[in-house]
Structures are given as structure tokens and as C-alpha cells.
Amino acid sequence: MTGWLVINGFLHSNKFNEIYSWLKTAFEKKGHTINVYTNIELANITKIENKPDFVLFWDKDIPLAKRLEKMGLRLFNSATAIENCDNKALTYIELKGIVKMPKTIIAPMTYRNIGYNNTDFVKNSINTLGLPVVIKECFGSFGQQVYLAESYEKAIDIVKNTNEPLIFQEFIAESKGKDIRINMVGNNAVASMLRYNDNDFRANITNGGSMKNYTPTEKEIEIAQKVCKVLNLDFGGVDILFGKNGPIVCEVNSNAHFKNIYDCTGVNVADYIGDYIEKCVVG
């Protein structure tokens, strides 16, 4: 079996390189060949003479992913799955009514060269969701571009200082500074951890949070399975909050990093991804 690992050519850090190495090793130790290409190298691709059996698309370059699919390649994850996870507004739209999520209002679209020169929607959002309110840029990872506004004035300040697409979400007080990350591969929860931070409303490890091994409940696993089914994910990370009346889905990541969860649990998610793709392609 021969495959491609597609990565972003502009990201250069040990954190990312380590993940790429683990993914490549997961296939090579099973006797498969996997070639690594950046989205820069594939930018001008027009035809493929020797098509790979699969493409492990570890990037968020949606136009490239869609082009490769148009050329007949099987991507793990698909372009649509990655797109719906990368954009928090689309994630909410796809999952609304299927799993419980924080009450959410999608900010009206503006243009980056104009910004939010009318902020009437901020007051309306706060009137609906209350204070404090969580404001998220639709595109962002590792808890970055996520803000907590404890007043109307702070919310206005946040909005006026970004030209990016936004969503407003109710603040789940019961889950302040803590959440669950469940790494899913196929229909299976292969690893999970509890993330917590006493000094920030965000639980992400990158923001100074801590982690410990966690055994998810049947309900939490069932929710993660529903999420992956609806979003058509082959694998991904599902972040779940502790709600007053049960679990609440916070975010979903199609390209969830798994170094931290490996350090926490000893589970190498890359091996599960390799097994899953092998089963899908070879049978």
C-alpha cells in the first residue's frame, strides 16, 4: 500500500514535525510506503501518473483537498469534513439539533478590509446569551482566538479589534477551565484525557492547562460517535464540556494533535490511524 501524507508547507515547529514523523512511522512499520508532500509542492499539480492508494491529509488547505478529490484520490479526512471542523460556525450548523452544544449566535459576515463598523449585533447577542459571553474567531486552534467578555464594553472591544468571522457562545460556568478531549478513530474512542486550568477559562494545554487520564462515560462516547458520524470524520478530536444537565460538545478538530494525549495516556493515536486506513483501503 502506498500513500501520501500531505502537510502544510508554512508550518515549521518541532511540535508539528513530531506528529508528521509518528504518522509516517505508523505506516512504514506495517510495510507500507508513505511519501510526504507539502501543500506548496502540490500547489501546481495537474495530473497524477501513479496515484497513491490513499492520502492522509494533515492540513487545512481546503481548495487543495477538493482538487485532489476531483482527481480521484481518497482523502482521510475528506475535504468537507476538514472544512466543517475548521470553521466553528459550520461545525455548529452541522451539529445543531443532533448533539447538545452551547447556545450559539453566528456573527454577520463583514469584509476584512472593512471590519465590524456596526456593532448592533453584539448587544443583541449578549441579550440572548447573557454575560459573560464567549467570543470565538471561527478559525483558530489550541484555544487561541477564543475570548471571554465579562461586560458589553469588553465584547465591543474584542469585536472591534478583529476583522475575522466570529461566533458568540453562552458561557458554560460548570465547565470553567476544564473539558474532555476524546480522540476518535473510526467509531472508536482510542484515547481521552481531562484538561483543566485553574487560571484560565480555557482548558487547552497550550494555554498553560494540565491534563490527566480520563475514562469517558458511555454517554460521552456516544456523543463523540454521533459527532464523527454527522461530520463524516475518519478520525478527530472531540472536545466536551461539563454541562449542568450533561455533556455539551464544545469543538471538533479534524487534525487533532495527539502528542499531549500520548504523554498523558501512553496511547499513540497514529498507530490507530494507520490501522484504520489500512482496513479501509486493503480490507
Question: What pairs with residue 180 in β-bridges?
Answer: 194, 240
Neighbours of 102 (CB within 10 A): 19
pLDDT of 57 over the 80 cut? yes
CATH entry 3.30.420 includes domain 2-77: no
The 3-state DSSP class for residue 150 equals coil
Whether the Cβ atoms of residue 239 and residue 254 lie closer than 8 Å to each other? no
Give the tens place of pLDDT for each residue, 183-194: 999 999 999 999
Amino acid making up residue 179: D
Question: Selecting from 3.30.1490.20, 2.30.110.10, 3.30.200.20, 2.60.120.10, what CATH number does the domain 104-171 have?
Answer: 3.30.1490.20
**At 254, is the pLDDT very low, low, confident or very high (cuts 50, 70, 90)?**
very high
The predicted structure's pLDDT at residue 141? 78
Q: How far apart are CA 205 and CA 7, in angstroms?
A: 23
Q: Which of 65, 31, 68 is nearest to 52 (CA)?
A: 68
Give the chain's length. Answer: 283
Q: How far apart are CA 85 and CA 91, in angstroms?
A: 5
CATH class of the domain at 84-100+174-282: alpha beta
The predicted structure's pLDDT at residue 279? 98
Whether the Cβ atoms of residue 125 and residue 168 lie closer than 8 Å to each other? yes
The pTM (predicted TM-score) of the whole model is 0.95
Query: What is the residue extent of each domain of the chain?
Result: 2-77, 84-100+174-282, 104-171
pLDDT of 221 over the 80 cut? yes
The 3-state DSSP class for residue 280 equals helix
Q: How far apart are CA 266 and CA 36, in angstroms?
A: 26
Whether the Cβ atoms of residue 236 and residue 252 lie closer than 8 Å to each other? yes
